[in-house]
Amino acid sequence: MVVVTDKPSLCRELDGHRLTSTVGLVPTMGNLHAGHLRLVRKAKLLGDVVVVSLYVNPLQFGPDEDFSIYPRNRSRDIRLLEREGIDLVFAPSHEQMYPSGTEQSVTISAGPTGSILCGKSRPGHFDGVATVVAKLFNLVRPSLAVFGEKDWQQLVVIRQMGSQLDMAIDIHSERTERDEDGLALSSRNQYLRRKERARAPRLIATLRRAATRSAKGAEERDQAVAEAREELEVAGFAVEYVEVRNERNLQPAHDSGGPLRVFGAACLGKTRLIDNVPVPGSPLTP
């Protein structure tokens, strides 16, 4: 496995592969867990050469968010990726990714999809995601890239960016990795205190019940969403949203004829949790 930290070295390492191999990319912010490794293994099945990026992108953090304390453990990440047989790790500095600084950087707008759901409470977040992913796409020039389904809105934003900006990259998804009690794996889970961690699985349990009821029709769906919010609030969550939307374009369920998914975001203490679940009858991937 080769580890590079600058853009010229990345390009040199990949130049020899692109003509004869299918290159796959797994963008991450590091602090890898089993969910990330699931993405890596899928990329290995789909591609000949796999690149994993380790980069905590400042553009996707708001001014009062956890950029400075976001978990980082590069040496452990590299050991894990070496065990997985990854070909190339790209672990750049901020100076490499944003040589003019983030304030002077050209950015990509995530469009209307980036301003709803998580984008409403995290303005600019998905612009930052789209910008760094576009930069990684341009640097690696992969044939395919793999993203997780826990961050479903991110997946939709990236698929829209790839399609609308004519990026010839196949975007694949992989299902959410969960602990035994159902909690979706996340680097931020380590912020949870013991009692908060015990309550955290109620998020996915509540969303699953709402999804089952939502399959019965619009009236039942509206009631299920309202009761899901109330249930989470009673359990001690600070609820940002519980909504049912079209899983392909995130349009409201009432305006959609396509497959639906229940989305939820809520905080326990200082830890923000997100999750989603398909309404029965919907496919697992968009």
Catalytic residue annotation: 36
Buried b (16+ CB within 10 A) or exposed e, 240-273: bbbbbbbbbebbebeebeebbbbbbbbebeebbb
Separation between Cα atoms, residue 85 and residue 220, nearest integer Å: 48
Separation between Cα atoms, residue 206 and residue 218, nearest integer Å: 18
Interhelix angle 7-18/125-140, rounded to 10 degrees, is 50
- Bridge-based pairing of strands 88-90 and 23-28 is unpaired
Separation between Cα atoms, residue 183 and residue 108, nearest integer Å: 32
